[in-house]
Structure 1
């Protein structure tokens, strides 16, 4: 640092909360830093080179953090993955490669000779694996550096957003063409997206048009009621003639029709979102309470914990806790975790102290003091055997047990909410056990105590019958809180958090919450240009608080950082933007920033990003000495202050809305430019490619599953099996017409090199074993049916006879392999039939290759997080309808229920 900068006070000094910055930033500091910061002549803001090569060069000195010890390094997102260019023109492409690595040669950046950290290498940051240009979607012979492409994409997407925001505001301010009859259709009621092609009876966004077009700012309780929906979900016109017809039709309904519609008619609340936005959430509420886990059943007398080689008998309460640990010895990720073991044993000993520890066979007390002397294997073996017994039950027995459980829980599965039947979500009280937590939680291994009725508060209507607690117990309290959407609540003992029984995800209340969340993100479109303009201006503010706030909003908007909140000592050390510490941010001239910290769910957030030079300068100021490890970067900013500022632009706007907006807006732009063709799997892959870009944008990372490599290997084996089948079919063609080999050429009939002799023999054995398992399974199923019908079961001899088919198959294929000749199969085999079979097999091979490629590309990206929580589900529905892909390919049954409102409310022309 130069003397001028060093002599300029930027901090008040160290307080008990760390270093506090001065109120204002002297102009001399800005000017001095402007001279120090080198420029390459082109500003490249907002570009992530996620997981790119981190070279040992002159950077900020990285402080010793958890990143070097606890945190696990992550491999490249794009390893082995090829991405298609969205368009031949760079200017026409959306942001489609954000947060991908680059192998390009970096220009040597001029170093700041005055920087006190200039000779310290980057030793605390691990070097993630390098990737090739082809793996990140850039052709190896490309003349344009990837960062320049990303900059163009980034600039284009922000310009498009600004243009649309201005367009929306200008339309809202424009005077109406004709006099409006409905008084409520004010400026707030103008649709978020302008019409492209006028369509009768449709709003500009594609949603079937209710009487009031917008729900963004108008209190839901004040909205006009929606048109009634018929059984098919089509809005009925409000003309008297049609009303009369509908009434006549209703009167003609038979008794069977009425019984069929005994369940509530579909409530299309998204066309009438006037429910549930006020303080009063319900008028009447009835439910059956909660389901408690079964009481603990003691272990058999021959199964005991062994301490220091001695089997010990424990008190029932202590034995239950011992079973929590003993039953999960196969969960190595937990039982090999020192923190997990330490916390468990502390709680276990506390219970042992209360219950008198253990007794040996002579009744003498055995004090259990050391974890290392405890042997839980007998307990594990008992539970493992019990699990095997349960797994070995016949299908009929499993079905009977399931039916019995469903019958017992049936009364708890639904409640009556304002006279409407609604599904309840988590009506089961969590059983006792060991707390695992996410990531590196400091309380992992602690004992979760059994919840009793005396801890549970019930929320129910005043006129409703209060559910009976278990015999001999009472509820903690009965409430009639009409402002709450919970049915029951209690406080758990690990973190002191409150657990709530709520309605299921597919209920009206939950659906409306999702709907409003995505509508809030759509509303942000109107203001995004103003917000970006303002925070870019405040990046140069003389006021420290304003500059810190502007820098934080920049990082949240550009790199999808979470806002973050302060954590207590007993919580996992996870942070977000506002709670970033000195050691979480490493600066690398000219304007690269490396973030490395534990993010949500204790998952390591590691990203190397290219920022606006002014942002780089600001972060340097915020890190200026005497700040050091443990000090806040944004010491004059809190999450609540940030959200309060954002609320000035738009009611209800918080930092997290940016993530939803950016994810949905990016997906909408990609969807708008898509020209998808090909098979259903190919279309699904195109959708996943777009979803992957959004997931990378929002930093939705996940740890590579332990079984991923094995899963990919199995898929490759299936592909190889199909390739072998193609080879066999070609040999059948020779068997039908020996002359064809000369006509087509020997290469056409040659066996692929990767299918060597060893592989073929292993494949034949695998096919035989697969056939044996199928035959055995079918035999057992038929025997179960015979037993259930009271008929005589087949003897094992019958199974042996059937298994001969598998043995014969093995003999035949081994002979084929030995002789190189394959006899034609099927009725009336011809060359034409064989060629048709080869065509079908090749199609299956291509489909499986696409699926395998897709799976490999998704191994480190949590596509589900972005698809379910951040991308407006209506965009997925639009893709499904626009390209004729069944919605089942994107949403499971549970998600289809959760997003029922999205599936039924839009068509393929809807826009975010």
Structure 2
């Protein structure tokens, strides 16, 4: 339901007021944040209305000077004023220019397979006199069968999912996309088609050909187990049965004929509702916060809210002035209803000391960490048993996993970036707040806390099981089936197929918006320019934000301050995108785009909208006329997947090692993530983890050194062999001493844990524990081995624990060489990806069939690239043929 997002340096929140005690240690400015909740906005009636032309301003006209000029009529601006070049203190985004660069030599020509135009641009001064290119006339299309399907959603986990219907004939059917009532943003909603005025003949839509290569391929049936494996297998029986049971539980919906009529999503639905968090347990009587240095006796309701803040005392949130202000205001509201028992009036945040509560929480955390493995296992089992019945439901008679079945506990809203409501109190949700959706005639679930459901519905046209509204932003929360469920899988496949269908129309769409770049109608010109930016730079469409929302923008909501012109043809974008992630990009554009942006900025202030004649609703309506179901989101998915496919195909991996293949894959993924602005701040522990990896790398070289020295002891002639002459780099005597001491400590710790575990098993079996002398002897043996290693230092001779012939040692050195090389590549890959979030594009924007086919082609285990979660989410994609292409 959420994802972590990081801000750039200049987005850090203000620090807490100077001199504020509050139990803080070392206050510093920071902006760490935890995912907040996103609003599910719906389109207002106003957005359906055509935009009225803004009143002409009576401002004094100042003619800006640029590297190029034109006297053409179509460049007449709506109003005039000098373009204001906003200075930017932005940090460069490495790799962004390469990932998003658009050739400047192609404006209105034919588009090639890579998505770029290939014809030379007519000079800027001449194109006003040249005849306007005509849109291709529509040809009579073949009769199509319409099937309704839901539109692709920007945040798949937060929206109702529709089922699809698979064609039973080879001909690919045209699908009709229907807007989802619960869509999270306007730019993801396909709008109802509105008849456009026939001003210009438009290029005809691509026909659907029989036997088209773009049809959804039927995945291969799972291969039958070999007879030998069935009759006799080295795998243990229990493990084999467990794997078999798991395989049988997977519903292969992609082999069925899914119900996708756009209305009924299920016939029967039975579930156990949601699980509520446990009630608040008051703190021990000796744990109290202080006010003005005196103990504050709070009732449970007020103490609980104070505890929310105390738990975050040493986090970046508690150093944020806005977070502190919102928390204190909401806490005072609670204190009015539940005042301190001693009558103390809490009026000043600076006099509050939450540290006693914080220290208690830290002690409790330490206690949990110190539990034995068995105690942790027992606690987890108790928790799992309590939640078991909520984890699954019965959908049309088959068991399906439920996704987010837990109701979020009360707490402080963290938000994303500079959210104006961060620190606000999130109330505890009760059954009276929740609406349940369930099949008719089945038992109504009983809440696990006192109360009755707000409402019980039996709506089989939606796929959510429960819904409620949270109090901070008024967002609607939904409980859906898990990512690997049949309904979710069908929705994912439809989303990627819709993006793949865009391949057939993209040339015509680009031709049409290139014509409109010079339109006499300013609204059409602005819309075409916005489409260019969405297409080429993968920008989100963007919506207007309210006062209570974080000030993030997309293409349609860009303001003049967000785009700077740099002659001759560069645009510099600098704004906060979704999740308050900064988007900074300096990119070359077509001369006509540069000219249009200059016109749109004239006579406007920095805070005025760049596209004052375009909004998201109008843009998506227009996209619907170009291709059924087309939205800005589909463009983004199409560009991400097509770019990813192209980058993977450019690599020659014929004789590459596995790690080289993985690095090539991750590099392509990084470039797409940069294109989509899936950025993050480098993890705080990155330097520390890189140092650990460097030590591990040196450890491998240490092992190689010992093998070399073992060879030298067997025969001195090995010293003269070229591959063994040089010593391992990065290793000196001081490091060797430290490394051996560290290894010795780890081996002793392992011996102690093993000894304790063996005794636990003996006690469980009713046998006598081993004597402490057994452990003492084992430790003595370890110390003896490391004493021998100490004697070998500087001798260039080593004794292995077990004797091996020279040939075997040489083979071991070769294997270590490969391991050292692979580990070096891993270090490089990790360091290059420290500021890029690869997971978002894998989950939402990259067609998983690209990865599955690539893995089969290059003999790479898909488990190396897909986590267990993604394997469960995309089972339908894993059976694709190796020659499949997006």
Q: TM-score range by the shorter chain?
A: 0.7 to 0.9
Q: Is the Cα–Cα contact under 8 Å of residues 216 and 520 in structure 1 kept in the other structure?
A: no
Cα deviation, residue 845, structure 1: 0.2
Cα deviation, residue 147, structure 1: 9.2
Cα deviation, residue 772, structure 1: 2.3
Q: Is the Cα–Cα contact under 8 Å of residues 747 and 782 in structure 2 kept in the other structure?
A: yes
Q: Is the Cα–Cα contact under 8 Å of residues 289 and 487 in structure 1 kept in the other structure?
A: yes
The answer to whether residue 305 in structure 2 is matched with residue 347 in structure 1 is no
Q: Is the Cα–Cα contact under 8 Å of residues 432 and 449 in structure 1 kept in the other structure?
A: yes
CA change 1:908–1:736 in 2 (3 A) is: same
Q: Is the Cα–Cα contact under 8 Å of residues 647 and 668 in structure 2 kept in the other structure?
A: yes
Spell out, residue by residue over 1:53-96, the C-alpha distance to the aligned partner (whole angstroms, 9 max, x if none).
Answer: xxxxxx965558xx86xxxx6565359xxxxxxxxxxxxxxxx9
CA distance in 2, matches of 1:75, 1:764: 43
1:902 to 877, 881, 884: 877
CA distance in 1, matches of 2:100, 2:783: 53
CA distance in 1, matches of 2:325, 2:217: 61
Gaps of 5+ in 1: 1-17, 39-58, 80-95, 102-145, 163-168, 176-183, 190-207, 221-225, 235-256
Spell out, residue by residue over 1:388-431, the C-alpha distance to the aligned partner (whole angstroms, 9 max, x if none).
Answer: 22222222222222222222212111111222221111111001
Q: Is the Cα–Cα contact under 8 Å of residues 267 and 460 in structure 2 kept in the other structure?
A: yes
Could you tell me which residue of structure 1 aligns to residue 472 of structure 2? 494
Cα deviation, residue 767, structure 1: 1.6
The answer to whether residue 626 in structure 2 is matched with residue 649 in structure 1 is yes
CA distance in 1, matches of 2:734, 2:624: 68
The answer to whether residue 616 in structure 2 is matched with residue 632 in structure 1 is no
Q: Is the Cα–Cα contact under 8 Å of residues 440 and 458 in structure 2 kept in the other structure?
A: yes
1:623 to 598, 601, 607: 601
2:69 to 12, 19, 36: 36
Could you tell me which residue of structure 2 aligns to residue 800 of structure 1? 776
**Local SS of the residue matching 1:157:** coil
Q: Is the Cα–Cα contact under 8 Å of residues 286 and 416 in structure 1 kept in the other structure?
A: yes
**Local SS of the residue matching 1:365:** coil
CA change 1:820–1:261 in 2 (3 A) is: closer
CA change 1:276–1:408 in 2 (3 A) is: farther
Instruction: Report 1:234-245 matches (<5 A).
Output: none
Cα deviation, residue 433, structure 1: 1.0
The answer to whether residue 488 in structure 2 is matched with residue 510 in structure 1 is yes
1:523 to 501, 504, 516: 501
CA-based RMSD of the aligned residues comes to 3.8
CA change 1:188–1:713 in 2 (3 A) is: same
**Local SS of the residue matching 2:877:** helix
Could you tell me which residue of structure 2 aligns to residue 757 of structure 1? 733
CA distance in 1, matches of 2:552, 2:174: 33
Cα deviation, residue 692, structure 1: 1.9
CA change 1:739–1:672 in 2 (3 A) is: closer
Cα deviation, residue 339, structure 1: 1.5
The answer to whether residue 218 in structure 2 is matched with residue 217 in structure 1 is no
Could you tell me which residue of structure 1 aligns to residue 558 of structure 2? 580
Cα deviation, residue 588, structure 1: 1.0
CA change 1:607–1:415 in 2 (3 A) is: same
Cα deviation, residue 159, structure 1: 5.7
CA change 1:390–1:890 in 2 (3 A) is: same
Cα deviation, residue 512, structure 1: 1.0
Could you tell me which residue of structure 1 aligns to residue 838 of structure 2? 863
**Local SS of the residue matching 1:622:** helix
Point out which structure has higher relative CO (alpha carbons under 8 A, 6+ apart).
Answer: 2
Spell out, residue by residue over 1:314-341, the C-alpha distance to the aligned partner (whole angstroms, 9 max, x if none).
Answer: 11001111111112334x2211122212
**Local SS of the residue matching 1:629:** coil
Could you tell me which residue of structure 2 aligns to residue 328 of structure 1? 312
Cα deviation, residue 697, structure 1: 2.2
Could you tell me which residue of structure 2 aligns to residue 393 of structure 1? 371
Q: Is the Cα–Cα contact under 8 Å of residues 227 and 271 in structure 1 kept in the other structure?
A: no
Cα deviation, residue 664, structure 1: 1.2
CA distance in 2, matches of 1:228, 1:562: 32
CA distance in 1, matches of 2:468, 2:827: 45
1:287 to 267, 271, 274: 271
CA distance in 2, matches of 1:514, 1:367: 55
2:531 to 553, 559, 565: 553
Q: Is the Cα–Cα contact under 8 Å of residues 68 and 568 in structure 2 kept in the other structure?
A: no
Moved more, 645-654 or 419-428: 419-428
CA change 1:282–1:209 in 2 (3 A) is: closer
Instruction: Report 1:161-240 matches (<5 A).
Output: 211-217=169-175, 232=222
The answer to whether residue 791 in structure 2 is matched with residue 815 in structure 1 is yes
Cα deviation, residue 480, structure 1: 1.3
Could you tell me which residue of structure 1 aligns to residue 283 of structure 2? 299
Q: Is the Cα–Cα contact under 8 Å of residues 101 and 587 in structure 2 kept in the other structure?
A: no
**Local SS of the residue matching 2:422:** coil
**Local SS of the residue matching 2:394:** strand
CA distance in 2, matches of 1:545, 1:806: 79
Cα deviation, residue 652, structure 1: 0.9
CA distance in 1, matches of 2:599, 2:660: 49
**Local SS of the residue matching 2:643:** helix
1:275 to 259, 269, 273: 259
CA distance in 1, matches of 2:694, 2:738: 14
Instruction: Report 1:7-18 matches (<5 A).
Output: none
Instruction: Report 1:78-97 matches (<5 A).
Output: 97=98
The answer to whether residue 817 in structure 2 is matched with residue 842 in structure 1 is yes
CA distance in 2, matches of 1:700, 1:862: 5
**Local SS of the residue matching 2:625:** coil
Instruction: Report 1:380-529 matches (<5 A).
Output: 380-470=358-448, 472-529=450-507
CA distance in 2, matches of 1:219, 1:816: 73
Spell out, residue by residue over 1:608-661, the C-alpha distance to the aligned partner (whole angstroms, 9 max, x if none).
Answer: 111111111111111112x11221000110000000001001111011111110
CA distance in 2, matches of 1:153, 1:573: 38
CA distance in 1, matches of 2:714, 2:115: 64
Could you tell me which residue of structure 2 aligns to residue 166 of structure 1? none
**Local SS of the residue matching 2:638:** helix
Could you tell me which residue of structure 1 aligns to residue 861 of structure 2? 886
Instruction: Report 1:573-722 matches (<5 A).
Output: 573-625=551-603, 627-676=604-653, 677-722=655-700
CA change 1:850–1:152 in 2 (3 A) is: farther
Q: Is the Cα–Cα contact under 8 Å of residues 67 and 567 in structure 2 kept in the other structure?
A: no
CA change 1:824–1:639 in 2 (3 A) is: same
Moved more, 758-767 or 420-429: 758-767
Q: Is the Cα–Cα contact under 8 Å of residues 442 and 571 in structure 1 kept in the other structure?
A: yes
CA change 1:213–1:504 in 2 (3 A) is: farther
Q: Is the Cα–Cα contact under 8 Å of residues 526 and 613 in structure 2 kept in the other structure?
A: yes
Q: Is the Cα–Cα contact under 8 Å of residues 78 and 857 in structure 1 kept in the other structure?
A: no
CA change 1:389–1:496 in 2 (3 A) is: same
Cα deviation, residue 828, structure 1: 3.5
Gaps of 5+ in 2: 1-50, 72-81, 120-135, 149-165, 179-215, 225-240
Q: Could you state the TM-score of these two structures normalised by the residue count of structure 1?
A: 0.74
CA distance in 2, matches of 1:153, 1:751: 59
CA change 1:159–1:436 in 2 (3 A) is: closer
Cα deviation, residue 551, structure 1: 0.5
Q: Could you state the TM-score of these two structures normalised by the residue count of structure 2?
A: 0.76
CA change 1:35–1:438 in 2 (3 A) is: closer
CA change 1:491–1:710 in 2 (3 A) is: same
Could you tell me which residue of structure 1 aligns to residue 293 of structure 2? 309
Could you tell me which residue of structure 1 aligns to residue 185 of structure 2? none
Spell out, residue by residue over 1:15-41, the C-alpha distance to the aligned partner (whole angstroms, 9 max, x if none).
Answer: xxx9975799xxx99999795389xxx
**Local SS of the residue matching 1:653:** coil
CA change 1:211–1:153 in 2 (3 A) is: closer
CA distance in 2, matches of 1:444, 1:579: 23
CA change 1:607–1:391 in 2 (3 A) is: same
Cα deviation, residue 800, structure 1: 3.5
